[in-house]
Amino acid sequence: MLQREILGNTVWAYLVSLGGFLAVLWGFILARRAGVSRLRSLAPRDAVGLEGLSADLLEKIRTPECVLAALYLATRQLQIHRRLDRLLYAAVLLALTYRAVTMLQVAADYAVRRLLAAPGRDSEADRGTARSISYLIGVLLWALAVLFALSNLGFNVNSMLAGLGIGGVAVALAAQAVLGDLFSAFAIYLDRPFVVGDLIAVGDMTGTVERIGIKTTRVRSLSGEMLIIANSRLTSAQIQNFRQLRERRVVVSVGVPYQTQAEQVRKIPALLRAAVAAAPQARCDRAHLKSFGETGFSFELVYFVTDPDYGVYMDANQAIHLAILEAFRKEKISFALPARNLFHQGPGAGPPGPGGPA
């Protein structure tokens, strides 16, 4: 009876195939359960780790895929109709391709979560950018999966790829600016020249970053209006980021007239340094007679404000200037005033000079 043939196969062959089918199916199921249970026990709670990723990938494998894979392997020993074999092959191919794409998406989400786990990358803008990256990766994976499945099912995808290439070039040319801003958004997200909340200056525009989008970045200017700047401009421009500012360097020029006595001129650098020393959160770097200017002696004072806050800087700057004013008045030193000599020449008069009309 075991040697009796049914549809070209013996009963024994059917029994062997059934046993192989059950063994493979239960082997897949038990291995998946044991692997998920073990990995879950190793994975720390509320953490993004390789153990959690592996458990998520194993959980993505469902019973229907196991059944199709076991059935396909079991029927390799049987003589079945060609159409049925092709149908089974197509079903297994589509099921496994679908599952592979979903598992790759889980891996891509894991990579994005790793980026979000970095310090300072947990803002709403960062999460929105991460979702956009995951979406684009998913679109790319599904497009590749469709081409892979069609190619393995016997379809000629060369003409399709050629058409997609021509269409892609046309779309890229038409959306060149949009694509440039899109890739610039990725560059900003990965390189992080600034984050939401930073005070930045781009050209003559200064403001606080409020949102980093796919195409534009929104910056609240100091005067209150919203600046919408294309991402491509931000990646190609020189950006001043004041978040990393530790202290401010200030250069002050002070001029006194040439009529100032030499004794007073010698005292001025010390007076400037004393004015900085008396100011809160300020550190003097140097104070020197710099040059002989157009209207008098020119002194240069350089100091640092040790607090990056702009209000603190202005308070220290005001205190230093007031201290310089008081010290100069106490020493009876005048400030140089801008002066111009004007010569008026009447009709028929000669050029101004010694003894000439002025």
Residue 119: its pLDDT value, please?
A: 52
Alpha-carbon gap, residue 121 to 50, rounded angstroms: 20
Domain boundary among 137, 153, 169: 153
b/e code 291-302 from CB counts within 10 Å (16+ = b): eeeebbbbbbbe
Alpha-carbon gap, residue 183 to 94, rounded angstroms: 32
Angle between the 158-174 and 124-152 helix axes, to the nearest 10 degrees? 150
Please check whether residue 171 lies inside any domain of the structure: no
Q: Is the pTM of this model over 0.85?
A: no
Are the C-beta atoms of 53 and 60 separated by less than 8 Å? no
Angle between the 11-42 and 50-60 helix axes, to the nearest 10 degrees? 150
Tokens representing residue 109 in the block: 């989400």
Are 11 and 118 in the same domain?
yes
pLDDT tens by residue, the chain, 358 residues: 656 666 666 667 777 777 877 887 888 888 877 877 777 777 655 455 666 677 777 777 777 877 888 787 777 777 777 787 788 888 888 888 888 888 888 888 777 767 665 555 555 556 666 666 777 788 888 888 888 788 777 777 666 666 666 555 555 555 566 677 777 877 887 777 888 888 888 888 888 888 887 788 889 988 888 999 988 888 888 888 887 778 888 999 999 999 999 999 999 999 999 999 999 899 999 999 999 988 899 999 999 998 888 888 899 999 999 999 999 999 999 998 876 666 667 665 555 555 444 4
Please check whether residue 144 lies inside any domain of the structure: yes
Please check whether residue 163 lies inside any domain of the structure: no
Are 101 and 206 in the same domain?
no
Are the C-beta atoms of 18 and 6 separated by less than 8 Å? no
Residue 46: its pLDDT value, please?
A: 47
Number of structural domains found in the chain: 3
Tokens representing residue 8 in the block: 């070209």
Compute the residue count for the chain.
Answer: 358
Please check whether residue 308 lies inside any domain of the structure: yes
DSSP, collapsed to helix, strand or coil, labels residue 282 as strand
CATH code: domain of residue 254: 3.30.70.100
Are 232 and 267 in the same domain?
no
Alpha-carbon gap, residue 44 to 52, rounded angstroms: 8
Q: Domain of 292?
A: 248-330
CATH code: domain of residue 198: 2.30.30.60
Residue for token digits 């269409």?
167
Are 38 and 12 in the same domain?
yes
Task: Give the CA distances from residue 297 to residues 38, 248, 256, 319, in Å, rounded to whole numbers and listed in that order.
Answer: 81, 26, 5, 23
Please check whether residue 346 lies inside any domain of the structure: no
Alpha-carbon gap, residue 320 to 316, rounded angstroms: 6
Are 25 and 109 in the same domain?
yes
Are 237 and 253 in the same domain?
no
Alpha-carbon gap, residue 68 to 65, rounded angstroms: 5
